Amino acid sequence: MADTQSQALKRRGLMFVLSSPSGAGKTTISRMLLDADDSIKLSVSCTTRSPRPGEIDGVHYHFVSDADFDRMVEEDDFYEWAHVFGHRYGTPKGHIREALKQGQDFLFDIDWQGTQQLYQKDRQDVVSVFILPPSLPELRRRLEARAQDSADVIESRMDRARGEISHWAEYEYVVINDDVEACFRKVQEILHAERMERTRQTGLIPFVRELMGS
Ligand SMILES: Nc1ncnc2c1ncn2[C@@H]1O[C@H](COP(=O)(O)OP(=O)(O)OP(=O)(O)O)[C@@H](O)[C@H]1O
Ligand SMILES: Nc1nc2c(ncn2[C@@H]2O[C@H](COP(=O)(O)O)[C@@H](O)[C@H]2O)c(=O)[nH]1
């Protein structure tokens, strides 16, 4: 049977934000979500840091120079941006606002500073999820097992982990990433439920009017 709700009713897109201390698993969960769901697109950030092995320019990040980042800031090209771990990261504006109106959902893998800026600009469109590691020793183990950062970088990310975690209560949802499959399913359930939130379903008023025969 046709699903009237998904086929006939328009809805506004949402800005689905995943944050966590570095190494807790938000990139892993983001990739699982993007693979499982064609209706959500990754907001590809700009960063001044160098690519890690396997990272592709334009897919995982837009890798830009400091001068390019400066120019984009001057030209007000960012939705939000922040200094993170000694580099700058920012969400290019692109066509996000227009696409949200058309019902496109976006996934943001950004830190707490970026989340605060999205709250200030478009609070009603943001759904925020904070991912916690099961423990700090496990967080370190994951950063080391990822084997993509130098020992110094891992140390500095561990030093900042408590500071990052201290922002957990600024998020609407909090999920502990112990088992990756279980964590992914929880995050997916949050996304599915938030898509049905009443105020996002812009087609409901005409639908209910017609349903009631007025
Ligand atoms: N539940 C889990 N159990 C064990 N390992 C995991 C789990 N979730 C993710 N990992 C692994 O931990 C490492 C860090 O994960 P990931 O790169 O997704 O973290 P991140 O939060 O995106 O970090 P960053 O902010 O630095 O990008 C990866 O090697 C990933 O495969
Ligand atoms: N405020 C923003 N934070 C961002 C953005 N893109 C990524 N990030 C965050 O930076 C750290 C480090 O990322 P890494 O890829 O170097 O490990 C992590 O917390 C990301 O979520 C952004 O556009 N804005």
* Domain coordinates in residue numbering, the chain: 2-43+103-213
Q: Which residue among 16, 47, 89 is best mutated to probe the pocket of ligand 2, counting the most ligand atoms within 8 A of its Cβ?
A: 89
Closest ligand (CA of 23) = 1
SS3 146: helix
Report the atom number in ligand 1 closest to the C-alpha of 157.
26
- CATH code, 2-43+103-213: 3.40.50.300
Q: Is 26 annotated as belonging to a binding site? A: yes
Strand ranges for the chain from DSSP E:
15-19, 40-42, 46-47, 62-63, 78-84, 87-92, 105-109, 126-132, 173-176
pLDDT tens for each residue of 165-190: 999 999 999 999 999 999 999 999 99
Comparison of pLDDT for 95 and 40, the residue scoring more: 40
Q: What letters, b where the CB count within 10 A reaches 16 and e where it falls short, cover 163-172? A: ebbebeeebe
CA of 28 to the centre of ligand 1 (A): 6
ipTM of the complex: 0.97
Q: Is 20 annotated as belonging to a binding site? A: yes
Question: Residue 203 burial (CB < 10 Å; 0-12/13-18/19+)?
Answer: middle
CA of 121 to the centre of ligand 1 (A): 29
CA of 177 to the centre of ligand 1 (A): 9
Q: For residues 213 and 209, what is the distance between their CA atoms, to the nearest angstrom?
A: 6
Q: Is 21 annotated as belonging to a binding site? A: yes
Q: What is the pLDDT of residue 1?
A: 45
Task: Tell me the whole-structure pTM to 2 decimals.
Answer: 0.94
H-state helical runs in 40-173? 66-74, 96-101, 112-122, 136-146, 151-165
Closest ligand (CA of 43) = 2
